[in-house]
Structure 1
Amino acid sequence: MKKLLVTGIAIMITACSSNKEDKKLAAEILSDKNFKEVTEKALEVVKTGFNAGDGYGEVWIRDYNTFIELSAEVFDHNTLKENLLVFFRLQGNDGNIIDGFIPKEKAVATEGGYQYIYSDLEPDYCGHKNTVETDHESSLVQAVYRYVKKTGDADFLNVKVGDATVAERIENSMTFLMNERWSAKYGLIYGATTADWGDVQHSHPWGVYITEDTHYCVDIYDNAMMLIALDNMMELIPVTKVKWGPIRNEIAKNTMQVLWDDEHQKFIPHVYLDGSPYPDDFNENEIYYHGGTAVAIEAGLLNKEQIKSALGKMIANVKASGAGSIGLTMYPPYPDWAFENKGMYPYGYQNGGDWTWFGARMIQQLIRYGFVKEAYEQMQPMTDRVVKNNGFFEWYTVDNKPEGSGTFRGSAGVLYKAIQQFYDWAAEVEK
């Protein structure tokens, strides 16, 4: 009895100590000046439009998906809905979703450039599709989910686009992935060989279209994105659960069986459908994918112990590379010969560039799973550089210098959302 009493006192002391630490952290969060400034800057930058940033003319679905909730703070809901409808109007007959759209008068056809997609359903815009990537369909489903949850506009699912409702078109987009991007061998969806979540394949000077030199593979990012989309679809449209619930569970099981390296506690970068494009003496599995891992956590594939281990590896990679934040795409990067696109040099662009766009998604998941202290520590470099550089830059070099668009709305969106999560947590602690 005495032993039990002592144990109970120890538990009480630990709980009091933990509560005290939480209150201290909550106070820090609520008084964080950078959080306030980044929030204000995010709201200002998203007011200026829907294209990915000042370096882009298009509205891209993989970007819009990550700032549609932020856009809802400053735009009328009908404007957000109209953007989503453009993607559905330009949807292919097989269910595929375009990558981005642009006003017809701004679409300039060039030799070797984008192959524009038109539809009688859409009078004002045309689209294009980076066919090497397999996240457009999943991104649109997620964007619709975020729109409905943010606005409460569930009637959007019943809007007719041509002969089909939005709800039917959502399911058609998932069917496209099963029909046209499905590997029966692995029970997973596939795409071209890209760097983590990137949309530039290894075997072409530009690299955005499938070619005869494309090497197909399954990877964690595409499959995790589909899992999130299926969960979203089944919540929005409950009647889809009967068909898609078992498919979702099978993909989740196969993802861990095929892509998870249990010995090294990491995801294998690529499992190839017909052999690797790289030399036998190149060990691709030495590369750790930060972005795909963050999305896998969002998809519910890793437990708390695995998440803690993943964060430790990311922090170690940042230290080893000298990068500014856990937004580091991967470590180590691919060698300079691995991609024909000259922008994909080691630590360049998607090959080891530091992207807040994905780093802040990891922050969101750390908060979600209770690692708030760790999340706050890893958030600091990301908000610091927004304030220091006065902008939401697309990516940062390994020595933390800004590159690309300075108004990258995807970065603004994921940072804004993470900050709101911090505020929500702190408000609960303060009660």
Structure 2
Amino acid sequence: MKKYLVIAALALVFNAKAQDKPKTNEALSQQIISDENFKFVKEKALEVIAEGFNAGDGYREVWIRDYNTFINLAAKVYPKEELKENLLVFFRMQGEDGNIIDGFTPAESIGEGETDFSYSELEPRYAGHKNTVETDQETSLVQTVFKYIKVTGDSSILEEVVGDKTIAERMEWSMDFLMNERFSEEYGLLWGATTADWGDVQPEHGWGVDLDENTHRAIDVYDNAMMIIALDNLMEIMPQVRKRWMPVKQQLAENVRKHLWDKKKQKFIPHIYLEGSPFPEDFDEEEIYYFGGTAIAIEAGLLSKKEIKVSLDEMVSRVKQAGAPSIGLTIYPPYPEGFFANKIMNPVYSYQNGGDWTWFGGRMVLELVKNGFVKEAYEQIQPMTERVVKNKGFYEWYSIDNEPRGSGTFKGSAGVLVDAIEALEQTVDPK
């Protein structure tokens, strides 16, 4: 009897979820079905992903923050064993404190004088690299394992043994690293270096990707939203750890709202500084809007439906103010010229300092669909798909006048666009 009650309960949950799935009206459904740009994007994305797992033609590494955004796309082309092997490499190269590298590249490709790499006896084929200013490598890996299991149905990866630990144990170990090494007891939130929203370049000097004595530690919404998503994912595929991690997740969510959400302005503040800001005292950083961090916060369930609509309206308004191409805009207004020593962040509207990235804009579109804003999602994806068609490919980012920049086969952009398109297509009533 209990068995049938459980089945009935599951059926009710399934039906409730099916009823909650957003649907479109007939006119919008027809637009989505007949959108020729969508067809081109999906076909081109399959071509691009078939070229390999490196982030794009400007990169030799397989980066975990990128792989997290195109593993669903990769699953359409590669066997699950190949998808799994890439994940296992990251775990074989896990640090002795539980940290996860950014990316790996064949060891033989490292030239003389290239010293910013790590190596592991468990994985002699590759050299690892980590931009230590970031606090999203560990959370990106957990999210990618979650997506791997969802897209392939293969949960056996959790039982794989690497060294003296299973993958399940190593995932928790990576979360421990963040709580031990990147957690502010004062605010109850994770910290990283000061960067522009989700970026990986700190302002203080040079290349700007490594924590050092010049770093100004800061708390932002992106890192903490990524952690909340990772913990949700971890608890879904490993329900036995809920008792340990649910209180952590709830504390993070509460503290994001308490310390980072500006209720009056209805936006997230850019940073909480732990030892002072790297920027001039008369600079009002609070005026800057972080597009990417807001999108990931929505994915983490940190905003109400009303706040999501307010956030979208603010993004659209600021895109117009900037004269930018799409809601892939990283930030607005950008940091003034000269605020970042790395020249790629200057002049304004360059790279992560006001460049337009489909890599995050596509994720915002996906969250709009998930939250029932289908019409708005369809409107906002248009400039992103149009430029893929125009430029016959997926570029890393775009200038303020919509000119392509960076890698010309950026797989993260392809991955998030296909995810968003498929979400839109799933809203169409089959009738």
1:98 to 97, 101, 105: 101
Which residue is 1:127 aligned to? 128
Q: Is the 2:158–2:168 contact (alpha carbons within 8 Å) kept by the matching residues of 1?
A: yes
For the residues of structure 1 that align with 2:401 and 2:262, how far apart are their CA atoms?
30
Q: Which deviations, in whole Å up to 9, do the C-alpha atoms of 1:179-205 show, x marking residues without a partner?
A: 000101100000000000000011121
Give the structure-1-normalised TM-score: 0.94
Residue 305 of structure 1: CA displacement? 0.5
Q: Indicate if the aligned counterparts of 1:23 and 1:430 stay in contact, CA closer than 8 A.
A: no
Corresponding residue of 1:3: none
Asked whether the 8 Å contact 2:24–2:427 carries over to 1, the reply is no
Secondary structure of the structure 2 residue equivalent to 1:315: helix
Q: Does 1:107 align with 2:116?
A: no
8 Å CA contact retained: 2:261, 2:267: yes
1:189–1:223 CA contact under 8 A, matched in 2: yes
| Correspondence for 1:423 among 395, 406, 425 | 425
Distance in 1 (alpha carbons) for counterparts of 2:63 and 2:278: 29
SS of corresponding position for 1:217: strand
Report the 3-state secondary structure (helix = DSSP H, G, I; strand = E; otherwise coil) of the residue aligned with 1:212. Answer: coil
Name the CA distance, whole Å, in 2 between partners of 1:398 and 1:209.
28
CA–CA distance in 1 between the matches of 2:116 and 2:201? 16
Q: Deviation digits for residues 109-164 of structure 1, max 9, x if unmatched?
A: 53xx5511111100211101000000000000000000000000001100000000
Match of 2:258 in 1: 257
Task: For residue 123 of structure 1, give the secondary structure of its aligned residue in structure 2.
Answer: strand
Counterpart Cα distance in 2 of 1:276 and 1:200: 15
**Number of the residue aligned with 1:44:** 47
Residue matched to 1:372? 374
Which residue of structure 1 lines up, in the alignment, with residue 296 of structure 2? 295
Residue in 2 that maps onto 1:316: 317
Q: Are the structure 2 counterparts of residues 76 and 322 from structure 1 closer, same or farther at C-alpha, using a change threshold of 3 Å?
A: same
Partner of 2:154: 153
Deviations 1:44-64 (A, max 9, x none): 100000000000000000000
Distance in 2 (alpha carbons) for counterparts of 1:254 and 1:22: 39
Unaligned runs of 5+ in 1: 1-18
Q: Note if 1:26 corresponds to 2:29.
A: yes
Give the residue type in structure 2 aligned to 1:327.
G
Check the 8 A contact 1:187/1:251 in 2, yes or no: yes
- What is aligned with 2:6? none
Give deviations 1:193-248, integer Å, cap 9, x for gaps. Answer: 00000000111210010111100010000000000000000001111100100010
- Correspondence for 1:4: none
Q: Which runs of 5+ in 2 are unaligned?
A: 1-21
Matched, 1:139 2:140: yes
Question: 1:75: which partner in 2?
Answer: 78
How does 1:199-278 map onto structure 2 within 5 Å?
199-278=200-279
Aligned match of 1:384 in 386, 389, 394?
A: 386
SS of 2:427 mapped into structure 1: helix
Which residue identity does 2:290 align to in structure 1? Y
Q: Which amino acid aligns with 2:33?
A: L
Aligned residues: 409
Q: Distance in 2 between matches of 1:173 and 1:20?
A: 38
Q: What percent identity do the matched residue pairs reach?
A: 62
Asked whether the 8 Å contact 2:24–2:374 carries over to 1, the reply is no
For 2:362 and 2:238, locate their aligned partners in 1 and report how far apart those are by CA, in whole Å: 29
Identify if the C-alpha distance between structure 1 residues 258 and 20 changes in structure 2 by more than 3 Å, giving closer, same or farther: closer
Distance 2:222 2:339 in 1: 20
Deviation at 1:36, TM superposition (A): 0.4
Structure 1 stretches of at least 4 aligned residues deviating more than 3 Å after TM superposition: none
Question: TM-score, normalising length from structure 2?
Answer: 0.94
Rounded to whole Å, the distance in 1 between the matches of 2:374 and 2:102 is 34
**Distance between the aligned counterparts of 1:108 and 1:72, measured in 2?**
32
Check the 8 A contact 1:61/1:100 in 2, yes or no.
yes
**Match of 2:3?**
none
Measured in 1, the distance between the counterparts of 2:111 and 2:81 equals: 28
